[in-house]
């Protein structure tokens, strides 16, 4: 939806992609570029999976800042993408940062979306659970565990709001 709003701009909407795999990102950019010609993909970076040094991450963000995107789509999965956004959104305060998880898999035709009826019923998560049971079940258990306050997100004091979202209060 946000990409479709870009057509009212007088210049192309500058979008950066951070995450996913190179092949998936390339295919998603091709699909999205065809669908939204007023979007300009100014950066596409795919950091390696797994832990990274602060220096490597800072180098990626420096490159991202140099491209001056207006929209940063972060596709690293939960909670990693939220942690990246929390650490670096101030580097590009005029940009909108969105954690998109596995969305590029759908645009790259690597995963199927749920049938329309399942989507309208708000049950798309169940369709995804059937497609990737071990990965999504494990994530769901972890999210439920965090929501109950049993573990804090990185960089927080473990406090959560009424929706189970970790607070942004830094550990003192």
Summarised one tens digit per residue, pLDDT across range 9-27 is: 668 899 999 999 999 999 9
Strands of 9-117, DSSP E: 13-19, 39-45, 71-75, 96-99
pTM comes to: 0.69
Query: Which DSSP letter does residue 110 get?
Result: S
164: its two tokens: 């189970």
Strand, helix or coil for residue 58? helix
Q: Which two tokens stand for residue 87?
A: 């650490």
DSSP 160: B
pLDDT at 35 over 50: yes
CA 23 to chain centre: 17
Residue 65 has phi, psi (to 5 degrees) of -60, -40
> Rounded distance, CA 63 to CA 80, Å?
19
Check: CB of residue 147 under 8 Å from CB of residue 155.
Answer: no
> ∠ CA 29-39-96 to the nearest 5 degrees?
95
- What span, in angstroms and rounded, lies between the C-alpha atoms of 12 and 5? 11
Question: What is the C-alpha to C-alpha distance for residues 57 and 65, in angstroms, rounded to an integer?
Answer: 12
124 or 20: which leads in pLDDT: 20
The predicted pLDDT at position 132 comes to 75
The tokens for 9 are 């701009």
36 close to 28: Cβ distance less than 8 angstroms: no
Assess contact for 54 and 78: CB atoms under 8 A.
no
* pLDDT tier, 128 (very low <50, low <70, confident <90, very high otherwise): confident
CB 41 within 8 A of CB 66: no
């Amino acid at each position: 939806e946000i990409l479709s709003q870009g057509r009212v701009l007088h210049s192309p909407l500058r979008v950066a992609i951070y995450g996913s795999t190179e092949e998936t990102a390339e295919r998603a950019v091709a699909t999205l570029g065809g669908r939204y010609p007023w979007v300009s993909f100014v950066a596409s970076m795919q950091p390696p999976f797994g832990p990274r040094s602060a220096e490597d991450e800072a180098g990626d963000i420096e490159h991202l800042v140099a491209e001056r995107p207006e929209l940063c789509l972060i596709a690293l999965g939960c909670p990693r993408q939220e942690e990246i956004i929390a650490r670096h959104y101030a580097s590009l305060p005029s940009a909108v940062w969105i954690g998109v998880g596995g969305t590029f898999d759908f645009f790259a035709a690597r995963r199927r979306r749920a049938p329309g009826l399942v989507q309208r019923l708000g049950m798309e998560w169940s369709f995804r659970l059937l497609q990737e049971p071990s990965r999504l079940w494990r994530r769901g258990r972890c999210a439920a565990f965090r929501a109950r306050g049993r573990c804090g997100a990185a960089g927080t004091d473990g406090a959560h709001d009424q929706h189970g979202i970790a607070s942004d209060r830094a550990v003192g």
